[in-house]
Structure 1
């Protein structure tokens, strides 16, 4: 969804890159800086400080945007940087899910741990569906991007769940996890179906 409107964020990315390039950190160093706020996010979740967790999740997402913005401004865009960024994205999402498993959240029809497993599985399969199709030369990299719930959408839904859990009831976080579990797997199937259609077209 956000991928389809990525051009709207181009100006913000340029301004962000210009500002943070002043700190003399390489794009790859900015990638690893992401681990600091995500560690704080995990601690906040474990101690059920959900409002703080929401704040640090946004900080994590913002820092995650910095590395690519700085790389473009400095002319240091590289395959290594793109690889590290993708791997770090998976680590960030896994660490947050791991913290949620031990946060003592209420169940919703099924155990919340099962919903979290489905969320993790869907998030990983969304990425793998694209990687596998590219590896088998079924599609180009750009052709399998998009879908109902990519990483940006997942972060927004998780942020909303944490925010509402902090302001109202922790049950809202369980609702968010259910939405993430269903939506992420649906997106993975969207990408797989797109790859299948591409093969059948030949």
Structure 2
């Protein structure tokens, strides 16, 4: 009888996939922690490290976990640009599920999309097929993917002014984080400063999204709005992305002024 009630429990239904996946991830991470000290650091990841919420070990772990998928794409000669295109399609699918309010499924699809977005570059470098056109395509897809996801969330919250405003501001900030870096590089100034870059934004959004069904069940019979966690995440990203963009603008503007004064 107890087992039947346990199986029929709504919280169990909402959390079971999450528990299974997290258990696998936790076991994988424990294994990785044991082998990490004796494992050579990935120079590519080290070179890309900057001011961020995510440490080196977590980034290396994510690449390590996804190595079988990278090998799969390489073995079947799937082109990096094709992987990028699949990532874009999945981002739009995720955006649709955000729009209809199925945040849990949207989050899982977004995780797959984001993972493919990471894998495409690795596949290109390992197969020596890195091209400027591929890098440009990847950057454009990133903007479309992120824009679509935030738009889906905004459409879901169209009747909630605070959530809608936070989502729109987060979208603007996210685009500015990328634009300020790209514009700076165009004039010869590079900066990776900032705590809310793409990896951090995706991590927060994915985690909050996959937990959303649990919060809905948990707060079902209470006065607490189950949307509060997602709205809080939007507010956090709205503030942090624009702070990151402002930080980059300040750094780049300062470097420009130095160049002008020395001219």
Which TM bucket (shorter chain)? 0.7 to 0.9
Which residue of 80, 91, 103 maps to 1:50?
Answer: 103
The Cα RMSD (Å) is 2.3
Give 1:167's aligned residue: 214
Decide whether the 8 Å contact of 2:196 with 2:240 is kept in 1: yes
SS of 2:156's equivalent in the other structure is coil
Residue 157 of structure 2 is aligned to residue 157 of structure 1: no
Cα deviation per residue 1:22-57 (whole Å; 9 max; x = unaligned)?
A: 122111111111123213212221221221111111
CA shift, 1:99, in A, is 0.6
2:150–2:167 Cα contact (<8 Å) kept: yes
Q: Is contact 1:42–1:53 with CA below 8 Å preserved after alignment?
A: yes
2:134 to 58, 61, 81: 81
C-alpha distance in structure 1 between counterparts of 2:257 and 2:125, whole Å: 37
Q: Report the 3-state secondary structure (helix = DSSP H, G, I; strand = E; otherwise coil) of the residue aligned with 1:102.
A: helix
Residue 154 of structure 2 corresponds to which residue in structure 1? 101
Q: Does 1:3 align with 2:54?
A: no
Corresponding position of 1:198: 255
Q: Aligned partners of 1:117, 1:47: CA distance in 2, in Å?
A: 18
1:186 is matched with which residue? 243
Q: TM-score, normalised to structure 2's length?
A: 0.67
Match of 2:183 among 132, 135, 150: 132
Per-residue CA deviations over 1:107-155 (Å, capped at 9, x if unaligned) read 4xx5322212211111111111112222223x1xxx3124110000001
Give the drift of 1:105: 6.8
Q: Quote the Cα distance in structure 1 between the aligned partners of 2:97 and 2:134.
A: 29
Report the Cα offset of residue 200 of structure 1.
4.0
Q: Could you say which residue in structure 2 is the equivalent of 1:123?
A: 174
Out of 11-20 and 148-157, give the one that drifted further.
11-20
Q: Distance in 1 between matches of 2:258 and 2:67?
A: 38
- TM-score, scaled to structure 1: 0.86
Is residue 176 from structure 1 mapped to residue 233 from structure 2 by the alignment?
yes
Q: CA deviation at 1:161?
A: 2.3
**Max Rg structure:** 2
| Cα distance change on mapping 1:6 and 1:92 into 2, 3 Å | farther
From the superposition, tell whether residues 133 and 36 of structure 1 become closer, same or farther in structure 2 (CA, over 3 Å). closer
